[in-house]
Chain A
Amino acid sequence: MSKRVLVVDDSATVRQQVGNALQQAGYEIVEAVDGADGLSKLADNSDISMVICDINMPRMNGLEMIEHIAQSKTIKKVPVVMLTTEGQPALIQRARQAGAKGWIVKPFKPDLLLAAVNKLTA
C-alpha cells in the first residue's frame, strides 16, 4: 500500500511539483490549500505518513498549522517538513520548536525532497 503525503500550499503549481516528484516513487498525494485545510485533511485521513507545508498562506499559515498539530490531542503526530520561500533563522527556530523535522527553501530539488520523504517515512 502506498504511503500518503499531505502537501499544504496555496499554490497549485507547487502542490503539483511536489506531487510529480513523489508520485514517481510511489507515494500518494493528498493536497490542501492552506493550514486550515491541512488540519482538516489530517483529521479526515489518519493514514497520512508525512506533511510538506508552506509557510505563507491565507486563512492559516504553516507555522500556525504545525503549532496547532503540536497542541492537538486528536490529530496524529506525523513528520512535517516546511517548504517555503522564507529562510530567516527565527522562523526556522519557531518551526523546530513546534516540532517540524526540516526546512527546505524554494525552489526545491526533487531528488533531495524525495530523499527527505523516504527518510522521514521509513
Chain B
Amino acid sequence: MDNGKILQDLLVECAGALFSAYNSPLTFTGTTTTPESQSFVLSGVIGFAGTDLRGTLLLAMTSGLLEDLSPSSASMRDWIAELSNQLLGRFKNQLLRFGTEIYATTPSVLRGELLTPLRPRGALAGHRFESTRGTACVWLDTEIREGFSLGTPAADVAQAEGESLFFD
C-alpha cells in the first residue's frame, strides 16, 4: 500500500475516533476532490514537520456541528483550534507505530466560506463526516521524504487518548 493512502486512511480513522470521543459519532461519508459546497465558517490549520514527513492538516466544520461538539462556552475559534490540535495529536501518536515522529505547530484558525484546499495538480482530497447537526471535513497535505516507507505498523507505542498514567 502506498504511503499516501496509509496516511489518508490513518487520518480518517483518527478523525472518526476524535468525534466519537466527544459523543458525536459522525458518519464518514466519503473522500472527494470535488470542492466542498458546505459553508465552513471556521477551520483549524495545523502544520507539522519531521525527518520523514511534513505537511498541514486542516479541519473545517459547519457552525452548528462545531457548537454541538463544544464542551465549554469558550469561543468557537478556540475550540476548532483545540480540535485540530487533538486530531493532529492522535495522528502523531499513531505515526509512532510506524516508527516516525512529527512535531506540531501551534494551530491557526481561518474564518471563511466555501473552503477548497488545493495542490499543484488539483484539489486536495477531503474526507467528509456528517451528522444531522452538520458536516466536518478534514484534509491532510503531506510531503514524504524520498525513500521513506511507512511499512507495517507496530503495536501501540503511545499512551492512549483519555488514559491516565501516574508515577510513584
Interface residues of A (CB under 8 A from B): 10-17, 20, 56-58, 84-89, 92, 96, 100-109, 112-113, 116
Nearest CB to that of B71 among chain A residues? A17
Nearest CB to that of B96 among chain A residues? A88
CB distance from A19 to the nearest CB of B (A): 8
Interface mask (B64-76 → A, CB under 8 Å = 1, otherwise 0)? 0000001111110
Q: Which 6 A-B pairs have the closest CB atoms?
A: A85-B89, A87-B158, A16-B72, A87-B159, A12-B74, A13-B74
B165 contacts A by Cβ under 8 Å: yes
A-contacting residues, B124-168, CB 8 Å:
157-167
In the bound complex, do residue B71 and residue A101 qualify as a contact, i.e. CB atoms below 8 Å apart?
Answer: no
Contact partner of B72 (CB less than 8 A), chosen from A17, A84, A85, A109, is A17
CB distance from B72 to the nearest CB of A (A): 4
Nearest CB to that of B104 among chain A residues? A56
Q: A13-B72, A112-B164 are in contact. List 5 more A-B contacts (CB 8 A).
A: A13-B74, A14-B82, A85-B88, A87-B158, A103-B165
Task: Name the residue among B74, B86, B159 with the largest chain A CB count within 10 angstroms.
Answer: B159
In the bound complex, do residue A102 and residue B164 qualify as a contact, i.e. CB atoms below 8 Å apart?
Answer: yes
CB distance from B8 to the nearest CB of A (A): 20
In the bound complex, do residue B86 and residue A107 qualify as a contact, i.e. CB atoms below 8 Å apart?
Answer: yes
Nearest CB to that of A13 among chain B residues? B74
**Which residues from B are CB-within-8-Å of A58?**
106
Interface residues of B (CB under 8 A from A): 21-22, 70-75, 78-79, 81-82, 85-86, 88-90, 92-93, 96, 101, 104, 106, 157-167
Task: Name the residue among A15, A88, A109, A112 with the largest chain B CB count within 10 angstroms.
Answer: A88
CB distance from A15 to the nearest CB of B (A): 8
CA distance A92 to B101 in the complex (A): 15
CA distance A84 to B165 in the complex (A): 12
CA distance A14 to B70 in the complex (A): 10
In the bound complex, do residue B166 and residue A102 qualify as a contact, i.e. CB atoms below 8 Å apart?
Answer: yes
**Which residues from B are CB-within-8-Å of A92?**
159, 165
In the bound complex, do residue A20 and residue B72 qualify as a contact, i.e. CB atoms below 8 Å apart?
Answer: yes
A-B residue pairs in contact (CB < 8 Å), sample of 15: A11-B85, A12-B74, A56-B85, A57-B106, A58-B106, A84-B89, A85-B89, A87-B93, A87-B158, A88-B96, A96-B167, A105-B159, A107-B21, A107-B22, A108-B164
**Which residues from B are CB-within-8-Å of A14?**
82
CA distance A103 to B164 in the complex (A): 6
CA distance A96 to B72 in the complex (A): 30
In the bound complex, do residue A109 and residue B167 qualify as a contact, i.e. CB atoms below 8 Å apart?
Answer: no
CA distance A115 to B151 in the complex (A): 40
Q: Known interface pairs A17-B71, A96-B167, A112-B164. Does A12 touch B78 (Cβ–Cβ under 8 Å)?
A: yes
